[in-house]
Amino acid sequence: MSESIKFAGKLRPQRGAGKLKAIIVTAILFVAVIAAWKIVPPYSAKYQLADKIDEVARFAVLDHKTEDQVKDIVFKTMQDLDIPAKRDDIKVTVSPSKVTILVDYTIPVDILMYHVDLHFTPSSEGKSLTAS
């Protein structure tokens, strides 16, 4: 009686729908894990870069850093985080009372047979406390 179930006094064969549902749910979970495995690291690197840019913008005003010095610091951080961007993707504006940093880059991600480009634009502005 392992292949049949009793239904209203009659024996009816099992259809295997439970097995199919389990296979479909497992496949969906597998694809979700693969997608998360590919998508989460670029977002994590973006948030770490944004934190570093905030820090650099604040202290660059106090330390009177030049545009090239700020770009070097930000680019070094991008290399440490394995962000595939060029030094030209970093835009820095320095004035005596304000430093503005903007980074614009795209990371290509391949999820199984699907391709997506993740576009990020972290930015920050540091102002002098004595500026009016």
Band of pLDDT at residue 1, cut at 50, 70 and 90: very low
Residue 27 predicted with pLDDT over 80: yes
Residues 4 and 11 sit within 8 Å (Cβ to Cβ): yes
User: What would the mean pLDDT of 6-29 be, rounded to a whole number?
Assistant: 74
Longest dimension (CA), the chain: 89
Locate all alpha helices (DSSP H) within the chain, ordered by sequence. Answer: 17-63, 67-80
Nearest to 78 by CA among 105, 115, 113: 105
Indicate the domain borders of the chain.
17-127
Determine the distance from the C-alpha atom of residue 6 to the mean position of all C-alpha atoms in its chain, rounded to a whole number.
Answer: 53
Residue 76 predicted with pLDDT over 70: yes
Instruction: Tell me the pTM.
Output: 0.77
> 130: helix, coil or strand?
coil
User: What would the mean pLDDT of 101-123 be, rounded to a whole number?
Assistant: 94
Residue 91: strand pairing partners: 102
